[in-house]
């Protein structure tokens, strides 16, 4: 009876993990829709998506070796498809320099490193040893996937803006880590459980940053723009300046008055009197 309940829980957490993981993969859809509409990648980076694709490929390889974790095959197959679409869109609209960097990263990770892992694991390890080695590799790169948003978190702190850190992604990332942690514990698979501890911690940290900085940028923009738009500040500077110039230029009419009264000879005497 206990075994039946355990299998039921494993299946339940596996299904929940698949559902929420799909939501995590789909969370950047608004970001890429924005990229598509503006025909520009703006300040978004390709690193998280390339690393996520590489991690999904590794987990499929691990799941095929272990043979009893079908839930990993389904979700990471979906992940590979979605991440490939993201990266393709990114390459279409990215600037030339960023595009070259992304292609180099794809060649280095998704072809070079992945092919090397496959080759070394088949040449030097067999059976359970191969599963163990690939499991630790998967766990390590899962940590990198969870740590990838650290660059975005640093940018949020520096700019005090959450424009490039969607709260939906942070929320689903945290929820996903919870489900996969319990799935790994019930499966007695530490390679699945351990990375999700870090995933949960980073997801919570991102949500805290979002709460702190979600209104900071708006207040800063309002404070900078209000003085420029205030009519009481703009009008005096444009209307009073001509008046001061006109009052200074009024004495220019004085020589005509002196000519009519025949007082021109007195003008060179006045400076000598003022000096004494």
- Tens-digit pLDDT profile for residues 124-148: 998 889 999 999 999 988 887 777 6
How many Å apart are CA 255 and CA 92, to the nearest integer? 75
Q: Greater confidence, 256 or 26?
A: 26
Predicted pLDDT of residue 1:
54
Q: Greater confidence, 233 or 179?
A: 179
Per-domain boundaries in the chain: 1-224
- Tens-digit pLDDT profile for residues 66-99: 878 889 999 999 999 999 999 999 999 999 999 9
Q: Poorest-confidence range of 42-46, 77-81, 202-206, 217-221? A: 217-221
Q: Greater confidence, 26 or 220?
A: 26
Q: Would you say residue 172 has pLDDT above 50?
A: yes
Backbone angles phi, psi at 160, to 5 degrees: 55, 35
- Give whichever of 107-116, 234-243, 264-273 has the largest mean pLDDT: 107-116
Q: What is the DSSP string of 114-146?
A: HHHHHHHHHHH--HHHHHHHHHHHHHHHHHHHH
**pTM score of the predicted model:** 0.69
């Amino acid at each position: 009876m206990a075994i039946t309940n355990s299998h039921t829980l494993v299946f339940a957490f596996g299904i929940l993990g698949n559902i929420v993981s799909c939501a995590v993969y789909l969370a950047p859809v608004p970001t890429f829709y924005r990229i598509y509409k503006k025909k520009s990648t703006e300040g978004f980076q390709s690193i998280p998506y390339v690393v996520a694709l590489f991690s999904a490929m590794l987990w499929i390889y691990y799941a095929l070796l272990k043979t009893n974790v079908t839930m990993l095959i389904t979700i990471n197959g979906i992940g590979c498809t979605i991440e490939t679409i993201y990266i393709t869109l990114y390459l279409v609209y990215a600037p030339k320099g960023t595009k070259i960097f992304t292609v180099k990263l794809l060649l280095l990770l998704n072809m070079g490193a992945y092919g090397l892992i496959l080759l070394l694991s088949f040449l030097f390890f067999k059976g359970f040893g191969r599963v163990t080695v690939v499991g630790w590799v998967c766990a390590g790169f899962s940590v990198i996937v969870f740590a990838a948003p650290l660059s975005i978190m640093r940018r949020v702190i520096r700019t005090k803006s959450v424009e490039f850190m969607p709260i939906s992604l942070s929320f689903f990332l945290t929820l996903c880590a919870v489900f996969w942690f319990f799935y790994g514990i019930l499966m007695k698979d530490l390679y699945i459980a351990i990375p999700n501890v870090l995933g949960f911690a980073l997801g919570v940290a991102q949500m805290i940053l979002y709460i702190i900085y979600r209104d900071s940028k708006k207040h800063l923009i309002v404070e900078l723009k209000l003085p420029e738009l205030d009519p009481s500040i703009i009008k005096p500077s444009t209307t009073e300046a001509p008046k001061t110039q006109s009052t200074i230029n009024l004495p220019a009419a004085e020589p005509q008055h002196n000519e009519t009264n025949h007082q021109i000879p007195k003008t060179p005497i006045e400076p000598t009197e003022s000096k004494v």
